[in-house]
Structures are given as C-alpha cells and as structure tokens.
Chains A and B, each alone.
Chain A
Amino acid sequence: MDDQLYRQPVFRVFQIFLIIFTVLAGSIFAQDPAIGLTDSADVFVPAPPGAVKATDVVYDQGGAVDLEWELSPDDDGSLKVSGYYICRREVGGEDYRLVDSVMAGVRTFVDETVEQDHTYQYMVAVNGDCSTAPSEESNSITPDMEWLNFGLSNLFIIGLVICGSVIYFIAHAKRGKKFFIRKIAGLEAVDEAIGRATEMGRPILFVPGILDMDDVQTIAALTILGRVSRVVADYDTKINVPVSRSLVMTAARETIKSSYMAAGRPDAYSDDMAAYITDEQFGYVAAVDGMMVREKPATCFLLGAFFAESLILAETGNSIGAIQIAGTARPAQLPFFVAACDFTLIGEELFAASAYLSGEPKQMGSLKGQDVGKAIAMVFIVLGVITTTLAQAWDIGVFTWISDLLHDLFQVTS
C-alpha cells in the first residue's frame, strides 16, 4: 500500500475508532482481576478489621491467648473478604509472623502456641481477593497460669463436704464412738466356712486379688485375712495365700503371723502359708487353678481386685465343691462371683466388711463419711429430677431456678 491510502480521511477515522475501541476494551477487561491486572490501583482492598483485643485464657497452663476483633465492614457475606490472618510478635523482639488463618465471618481465635510469661502483641489482617489490610496492634498480653482454678469451686465445695465428713467421723470413731453398720450377708458365713474346712480336714485358700499394696481393695482383703487367719489359727486349719505381688506376700505374711501370735499359736505359723507366684495375670491364675485342683480346699476366699481371671478362679473353685466367699469392687467381675460363688460382697460391701471386722476407727469413719456423700447424691438426684421435670414442663420460676442451681453445682468444666 502506498502513503496515499494512509492520508485518506476514511482510513484516519478507522484508525481513531480502532484506538478508542482498544482503550475501552482494555479498561473493561482490566476491571476483572481473573483475567489480568495491570495496575494495582484497580485492586479492591477491604477495610481492615476493628480493634483487636487479646486476653489471657483463664485456668489453663499459661499457653493460650484469646483474641477477639471487630469484623471488617466489608465482611458482609458478599465474598469481598475471604478470611483473616492472625499474626503475632513477641514484644521487644521479632517482626509479626503468621500464626493461623480463619474464615470470613469469624471474629474470635484462641492462640494455643504461646509460652507462659512471654509478652505478645497481635494483628489481624483481613484477606481480600488479592489484598490484605491489617488491623491496628492489639494490647500487649502475657499468658499466665493461675494458682487456683475458681471454675472448679463447686468441685472444691463438694469435696470439702465429703472429705470433711470422713475426717469428722474418723475423729469420732477414735474417741470410741460406735457406729452402726447394717448386716452384710457374706460376713456371717466366714466362721461357718472355716469350720467346714476344719471338719473336712481340707485347707482354706485365700486369694487377696492381683493388684499391689497401693490398691485399697488389697488392703481391705488383707484386713479380712487377719480375721480369717485368726479363726484358722484357733481351729488349727491349714491356710494357703498365693499372691501375685511380692509386697503383698510380705504384708500377708505379717498379717497371718500377727493373727497366729494373737491366737497363741506362733509355732504353727509358717512363711510358706503366703507364697509369691508371678506378676503375670494368667500365669498366676494357672498356678492357683492347679493348686485348687490338686489340694482341693474346702473353702475359697476370693477377696480383692480381680480382672479377667475372676471367672476362671470362681468356676474352678465351684467345680471342686468348695464353699466360696468372694468380694471385689470391680463391677466387671462381680457378675461372675455372684453366679459362681456362694456369697459375694458387692463393691463397697468389701470395704464395709473390712471396717466391720477390723473395727479400726479410720475404716469405720471413712465408711460413715462416704455414706454422707451418698446421702448428698441421693437428695440432689431426687430434688433435681423433680424440679427439672416440673421446670421443663411448666417453666415455673422457682423450679427453674433450683434446677439451674443444681445443674451448675454439679457441672464440671475442663
């Protein structure tokens, strides 16, 4: 084409039209960030979030800070804001670093990565599509661990009442006051069972559970062993006490020896009466089972803490025709004792039996103190159920108030 074409008016108009069209098209497309940004002034920057407030989380280990902020005015559900960045710095140290991010609409965050006694400041930056806008700095906060957790005051009050009752009754028992304990079926059979063994000329087997001396059931069992071995010493019957823990063996030997000495029969005592078998649960059971089948005791006492071996022991004792008195505070094992044994001390009856037989003030006082706890539970259950039922049905003020009070009294927050 020669120059003359370019000088034609029509062509000039066409050129101008082309320029205008290009500029308009470019500006239209440039407004959509998905297609391409050429100028940062076209980016939408949401308004920053409002004041950020940092508070220490109470009653924790000193490792958490609670953050709260006002949402960005642009966070109105229109997708202009996709979320917020939580940034933190340690005062007097580093720059702000990203801790975490949350979705749009969220105005709280718990930072659980802080350390006790370090001071921090926070900023929350709103996140637009391709832009962020940070808030102002928050207050300085030093996470701390409180000495006392007042959120557990109700636990403290209930604990104080129950423990206080135990101490009160122990003090009274030490002063010689006699406390009433209701009849316990299995206890009355103890003497009769030992007498039966004596008549038949067969030994007595006493199994004090398979846990160690730190378990209260073992202690209760050994207290009863003291009583049983006293009667055994009087009747001159043989007793075997296979144990699963070495310390229990030593304690059992001391108990039996004391009983024999109290009965005036120190010569009849032998260390072989209490023998250590093994710590392993089923190894112990296998050995005791073998003992039952070979020596055929006339009476078996299965008192203390038992696990899966309880049914094996009870069934083997049943199969040899022994009279069995069992007792444990482990609910999972009680059904087997109830099914296979002649008498069963259910749960706390084991400790009641121990207290009753020993007459020891601490055990008697503990039992009475626990009864106070049970009485409190019974009263509150009855009161709570009645008031809550009525409050739920009719929403009467006083019932609702009592119901809420009882719920708060027994609610435990972690």
Chain B
Amino acid sequence: MDAIGLWIGAFLTLGIMSFLYKDNPWYKLSESIFVGVSAGYWFITLFWDSIYSKFYIGVSQEGDNYLYVGAILGLMMLMRLIPKVGWISRWPLAFIVGAISGFYLINYFSSNIMRQVANTVMPLFSTDYGQSLFSASVGTIIDNILVAGGTFAGLVYFFFSKEHKGAFGATAKVGIWVIMVTFGATFGYTVMSRMSLLIGRMDFIFGDWLGLIK
C-alpha cells in the first residue's frame, strides 16, 4: 500500500511540475484531482472538527447550550445563498466582524503599535546614562539610526493626508526606499522558502520514491 501511495504522490508531483514546460493533459489531470480532493478534504475536516466535535459533542455530551447561539448564527449566515432572504446573513456577519474587531483592537494596539513604538524610542549613539555621546559601537549606532529613521520615513510614506512634496516628499522617498530594501530582504528569504519546498519535493522523488539518496 505504501508503494502505491508513493507512486500516486510521485505521479501527481511530476504532473503539477510539468506545467513548467507547458500546459498539458498530465497537468490538467493532476490539477483536477488536487482541486477535487482538497475541496472534499476541507469539507470533511470542517464537518468533523467544527460541526461534529465542537457543536454536536458540545451540546449532546457536555451540555453547552451556548453553542446553539453559534449554530443559529451559522444558519443565518447560510441564508446569503438564498437571494430572497439574503439580508438575514448581515446580522451574523456584523456579529463576527464586530467581535473580531474588538478582539483584535487590543491585540494590535498592544503588540503592533505600543510595543513597537516603545522599542523604536531608543538612544541613538550611547548605551548608558552619563556615558559619552558616542559610547555605542559603530555597528550599533548605524543599526539604531536605520531602525528609528526607517520607521519614521516609512510612516511618512503611508501618510495619506498630505501630498508628497518638498521635505515631506523627500522623507517619503526615503521611506519607500527603505520599504523596497525590506521587500528585497523578504524576497530573498522567500526564495529560500520556495527552494526549501522544492528541495522537499525532490527529496520525496529521489529519496522516498526512487530510493536514490539516503
């Protein structure tokens, strides 16, 4: 059985990869299988992990009647698929958007704004109170200037209430350059990530399937 699974996995892997040459029947077949199986998998996962284990078990075995509220909201959400009563789905959607916004408001304010601003406020050139103005190492000074200056310039770029002209525009220009450098670093990291996935697949093909590598 393992061997059959390996051959099917290899067949589908190579089929999807054949798209790199050009669109062909093997790719189309693999794509269709993948789309169909993934849709089916997610349906089953959502049914067993959400509806059965959360709702049915919760209500029937644990007596958590609050789950009925969630179930009713879920059914109301499905009314969107019936045009005549589609307006009913706005209520659970409003509940979800409101609850998630309220939940995230504190999280994002705390983690992504407050702590980051607090961490950006730093002494640029020195390390301790009473130390001389340039007591930090050159590397640390450059690091601090880049972080503080880059953060400020990036914020200026995303300020939409003022036209990017003059000194403000120049700062915004610095900001977009900093952002682009960041994108370059992120791109480099992502190339590594994609290569890792390819390496994983090749390890499967040449290692697990063909047994050519240890």
Which residues in A have some Cβ–Cβ distance to B below 8 Å?
Answer: 154-155, 158-159, 162-163, 179-183, 213-214, 246-247, 250-251, 254, 277-280, 282-284, 286-287, 289-290, 293-294, 311, 331-332, 334-336, 338-339, 346-349, 352, 367-368, 371, 373-375, 377-378, 380-382, 384-385, 388-389, 391-395, 400, 403, 406-407, 410-412
Contacts and interface: CB of A to CB of B under 8 A. Distances in A.
B194 A331 contact: no
B7 interface: no
A252 to B, nearest CB: 12
A293 B19 CA distance: 10
Nearest to A348: B158
Contacts of B156: 378
A377 B39 contact: no
Nearest to B43: A279
A188 B12 CA distance: 42
Nearest to B152: A381
B70 interface: no
Interface string B134-157: 000000000000001001100110
Given A182-B164, A247-B77, A280-B42, A335 B97 contact: no
A319 B90 CA distance: 40
A280 B38 CA distance: 6
A378 B172 CA distance: 13
Given A283-B38, A393-B132, A338 B183 contact: yes
Interface of B: 16, 19, 23, 27-28, 31, 34-35, 37-39, 41-42, 77, 80-81, 86, 89, 93, 96-97, 100, 105-106, 109-110, 113-115, 117-118, 120-133, 148, 151-152, 155-156, 158-164, 179-180, 182-184, 186-187, 190, 194
B105 A381 contact: no
Given A278-B39, A334-B183, A380 B117 contact: yes
Contact of B190 (A155, A163, A336): A336
B126 A392 contact: yes
Contacts of A384: 117, 120-121
A381 B131 contact: no
A377 B39 CA distance: 44
Given A280-B38, A286-B31, A381-B121, A371 B159 contact: yes
Contacts of A278: 35, 38-39, 42
A232 to B, nearest CB: 22
Contacts of B41: 280
A293 B96 CA distance: 37
Nearest to B123: A392
Contact of B34 (A182, A283, A334, A371): A283
22 contacts: A155-B110, A159-B106, A182-B163, A247-B77, A250-B80, A282-B38, A289-B31, A311-B190, A335-B186, A348-B160, A349-B158, A352-B160, A371-B160, A371-B161, A381-B121, A384-B121, A388-B121, A389-B124, A389-B126, A411-B114, A411-B118, A412-B114
A15 B117 CA distance: 88
A158 B125 CA distance: 29
Contacts of A155: 106, 109-110, 114
